[in-house]
Chains A and B, each alone.
Chain A
Amino acid sequence: MGYRNNPLNHRFLRELKGDFGKYFVIFLLMLMSISFVSGFLVADNSMLIAYEEGFEKYNIEHGHFETRNPLNPSARKAIRRLDITIYDNRYAETSLNNGSTLRIYAMRDSVNLLCLMKGEFPSAPDEIIIDRMYADNNHIRIGDALTDGTHTWKVSGLAAFGDYSCLFQNNSDSMFDAVKFSVACLTPQGFEALKDLPVTYCYAWRYPKDPSDREEEHDWSEKLLKQLREIVPLQDYVPRYQNQAITFTGEDMGSDKVMMEVLLYIIIAIIAFVFTITINDTIRRESAVIGTLLASGYTRKELTEHYMAVPVTVTVVSALIGNILGYTVMKNAAADMYYASYSLPVYVTVWNADAFIRTTIIPILIMIAITSLTLQRQLRRSPLLFLRGDLSSQRRSRAFFLPHALPIMTKYRMRILLQNAGSYLVLFVGILFSNLLLMFGMQLPALMTNFQAVIDKDMIASYQYILNIPLSLTDSSAMKTDQLLEYMEYASSVSTENPTAEKFSVYTLKTEEVPGSRQDQVMIYGIRENSRYVDLHGVKDEVCVSSAYAEKYDLHPGDVIRLKEEFLDRTYTFTVGSVVEYMSGIAVFMPMEKLNETFDLGRDTFAGYFSRTEITDIPRRYISTVIDRDELSKITRQLMVSMGDLMYLVDVFAVVMYIILIYLLSRMIIEKNAKSISLTRILGFTGSETAGLYILSTTIAVLVSMAVSIPLLKVILIPLFRTMLKKMMSGWLPLTLDPMVNARMFVIGLAAYAAVAVFEYRKIRKIPLEEALKNAE
Chain B
Amino acid sequence: MFLGLRDIRKSYGNRENRVEVLKGISFDAEKGELVVLLGPSGCGKSTLLNIIGGIDEADSGKIEVRGEVMNTMNERERTKYRRKHLGYIFQMYNLIPNLTVRENIEVGGYLSDHPLDIDGLIETLGLKEHQDKLPSQLSGGQQQRTSIGRAIIKNPDILLCDEPTGALDYRTSKDILKLIESVNQKYGSTVVMVTHNEAIRHMADLVLEMRDGTIRRQYRNEEKTAAADLDW
Listed in ascending order, the chain A residues whose CB lies under 8 Å from chain B are 394-395, 397-399, 401-402, 404, 408-409, 411-412, 415-416, 418-419, 675-676, 679-687, 769-770, 772-773, 775-777
Contacts and interface: CB of A to CB of B under 8 A. Distances in A.
Contacts of B133: 398-399
Interface string B28-56: 00000000000000000010001001011
Given A679-B94, A772-B94, A776-B92, A684 B84 contact: yes
A683 B99 CA distance: 15
Contacts of A773: 46, 50, 55, 90, 94
Contact of B98 (A416, A681, A777): A416
B99 A398 contact: no
Nearest to B85: A684
Interface in B171-186: none
A422 to B, nearest CB: 13
B82 A683 contact: yes
A676 B97 CA distance: 8
Contacts of A776: 46, 90-92, 94, 162-163
A687 B134 CA distance: 25
B79 A681 contact: yes
A692 to B, nearest CB: 13
Contacts of B88: 682-683
Contacts of B90: 772-773, 776
Q: A395, A680, A684, A773 — which one has the most chain B CB atoms within 10 A of its CB?
A: A684
Nearest to A390: B136
A334 to B, nearest CB: 46
B92 A684 contact: no
23 contacts: A397-B136, A398-B133, A398-B134, A399-B133, A402-B103, A412-B103, A418-B98, A419-B98, A682-B88, A683-B83, A683-B88, A683-B108, A684-B80, A684-B83, A684-B86, A685-B111, A686-B76, A686-B79, A687-B79, A769-B56, A772-B90, A773-B90, A776-B92
A408 B96 contact: no
B150 A777 contact: no
A777 B46 contact: yes
Contacts of B111: 683-685
Contacts of A394: 97, 136
B99 A775 contact: no
Given A398-B134, A398-B137, A411 B83 contact: no
A415 B132 contact: no
A257 to B, nearest CB: 46
A415 B103 contact: yes
Contact of A769 (B55, B106, B163): B55
Contacts of B86: 684
A408 B79 contact: no
Contact of A411 (B46, B94, B106, B109): B106
Interface of B: 46, 50, 53, 55-56, 76, 79-80, 82-84, 86, 88, 90-92, 94, 96-100, 102-103, 106-111, 132-134, 136-137, 150, 162-163
B14 to A, nearest CB: 18
Nearest to B166: A776
A408 B107 CA distance: 7
B123 to A, nearest CB: 14
Nearest to B90: A776
Contacts of A401: 132
Contact of B110 (A398, A399, A402, A409): A409
Contacts of A685: 79, 83, 111
A411 B99 contact: yes
A683 B107 contact: yes
Contact of B107 (A416, A680, A770, A775): A680
Given A399-B100, A680-B107, 8 more contacts: A395-B137, A411-B99, A419-B97, A683-B88, A683-B150, A773-B94, A776-B90, A777-B46
B229 to A, nearest CB: 28
A397 B97 CA distance: 11
A234 B56 CA distance: 96
A769 B55 CA distance: 6
B28 to A, nearest CB: 24
A769 B49 CA distance: 14
Contacts of A399: 100, 132-134, 137
Q: A681, A687, A775, A776 — which one has the most chain B CB atoms within 10 A of its CB?
A: A776
Nearest to B88: A682
Nearest to A774: B92
A684 B82 contact: yes
Nearest to A690: B79
Contacts of A419: 97-98
A495 B153 CA distance: 98
A63 to B, nearest CB: 71
Contact of A408 (B46, B94, B110, B136): B110
Nearest to A408: B106
A682 B137 contact: no
A634 B145 CA distance: 76
A676 B96 contact: yes
Contacts of B99: 411-412, 415
Contacts of A682: 53, 55, 82, 88
Contacts of B94: 675, 679, 772-773, 775-776
B77 to A, nearest CB: 11
A775 B136 CA distance: 16
B21 to A, nearest CB: 12
A102 B103 CA distance: 78
Nearest to A394: B136
A489 B16 CA distance: 112
A394 B95 CA distance: 14
Contacts of A395: 136-137
A419 B150 CA distance: 21
A235 to B, nearest CB: 78
A-B CB proximity, top 5 nearest: A684-B83, A419-B98, A408-B106, A684-B82, A415-B98
A679 B96 contact: yes
A398 B79 CA distance: 33
Nearest to A420: B98
A364 B197 CA distance: 56
A214 to B, nearest CB: 62
A773 B54 CA distance: 13
A412 B56 CA distance: 27
A408 B109 contact: yes
A776 B100 CA distance: 21
Nearest to A685: B111
A681 B81 CA distance: 12
Q: A394, A679, A769, A773 — which one has the most chain B CB atoms within 10 A of its CB?
A: A773
A675 B135 CA distance: 15
A689 to B, nearest CB: 9
B104 to A, nearest CB: 10
A460 B107 CA distance: 70
Contacts of A680: 96, 107
A676 B82 CA distance: 16
Contacts of A412: 96, 99, 103, 107
Contacts of B91: 776
Q: A397, A404, A681 — which one has the most chain B CB atoms within 10 A of its CB?
A: A404
Contacts of B84: 684
Q: B80, B100, B102, B108 — which one has the most chain A CB atoms within 10 A of its CB?
A: B100
Nearest to A686: B79
A681 B53 CA distance: 12
A418 B98 CA distance: 8
Contacts of A772: 90, 94
Contacts of A679: 94, 96
Q: A399, A418, A679, A772 — which one has the most chain B CB atoms within 10 A of its CB?
A: A399
B27 to A, nearest CB: 22
Contacts of A415: 98-99, 103
B76 to A, nearest CB: 7
B232 to A, nearest CB: 21
A601 B46 CA distance: 103
A396 B107 CA distance: 24
A311 to B, nearest CB: 26
A404 B132 CA distance: 9
